[in-house]
Homo-oligomer: A and B are copies of this chain.
């Protein structure tokens, strides 16, 4: 039962098995942070871990730390720590580069494994997925088509029999819709297509089972629900069965089979390391390491249960405020995000600004979406109740109509 009073929320907090995790994060006073789907909060141990890397490993160890501090293997050791969060084998994930570069590598690698030349994407995907596909298609001569992956056209497009690669986001960044990874992957495979999953809005937010779903490739960022810091390095998954054949085009020296031979020709490493390119930013990796340490103590079932309860709660308050929702009411189709709309021109942006002025941080995505992310590791039921109360007041009392909330200046 979704709670309807603050008192009920306080009781849920008292019984919440994840409540102690909150102590592992730093959050500013007076803020209810509903934007962990854009940039996750700071893990309490991250400053010390980063400082240790900077002052001891770099400052004192200098170049010796490439061996002594395990820097050379970070892409693999961090990948192995992410693996259980996405249902992958520890030898199937590497950390490095950004989401855009990793999308490029996986889409091109998948295209090269197929006789076909169509990349099927989703019409409303996050822009970088669309743009990178455009870039990869431009280079390889592939054709890109786009489809609404939540409608019947997806099956029809796949049935045309010319799709080499299907690229989908597991959770839609605008609406928070969660896709059926196993069912969609099976359908694609039945029609002879490989699948690349973008986990940017699902890793750390919902259960992800890449192995169980038979996924081919996946990429994801670490700075949203995984809390690794602004622009932190991304991860890349390649199913073990594809390692020997996968041929990615950003063939830098870290992906070489014997990088310290300094051989004149490229020979890809045997495993997932072949997806690496060059040296990675170790200072940023240190924050990711701290965050993954927190995640190693999280029960993912508990995370999902609480995520659904928090989003149920906020959806009920949004309905009370009279706002429309793009986020499904069905649990099995919902990520860890609530996306709301208010049809009046400019309302969405202004409502988000008015909430921020009250210390409730969400974000706005053009043209009209108010996005609120729910991170079970550091949000309480009471906070979400209070955020819902703020939403009801801002909307019902027309607070957002004030001129100061309507001026557009932000970039993000």
Q: Residues of A at under 8 Å CB distance from B?
A: 26, 28, 31, 33, 35, 38-39, 41-42, 46-47, 50-51, 54-55, 57-60, 62-67, 71-72, 97-101, 104, 108, 123, 126-128, 130-132, 134-136, 138-140, 146, 221, 223, 229-234, 249-256, 259-266, 277-287, 356, 361, 363, 365-366, 409-412
Contact = CB atoms under 8 A, between A and B. Distances in A.
A235 to B, nearest CB: 13
Given A55-B42, A127-B259, A283-B229, A253 B62 contact: no
Contacts of A281: 229-233, 281, 283-284
Contact of A262 (B127, B234, B280): B127
A253 B54 CA distance: 30
Contact of A63 (B39, B101, B108): B39
16 contacts: A54-B287, A63-B363, A65-B230, A97-B98, A98-B277, A101-B278, A131-B256, A132-B252, A132-B277, A134-B251, A134-B265, A135-B250, A146-B264, A233-B281, A260-B366, A282-B284
B97 A131 contact: no
Nearest to A369: B262
Copies in the complex: 2
B62 A28 contact: yes
Contacts of A108: 139
Contact of A139 (B128, B140, B254): B140
A59 B71 contact: no
Given A98-B252, A127-B262, A230-B282, 11 more contacts: A42-B55, A50-B50, A126-B253, A127-B263, A128-B278, A130-B266, A131-B251, A131-B252, A135-B266, A138-B249, A283-B287
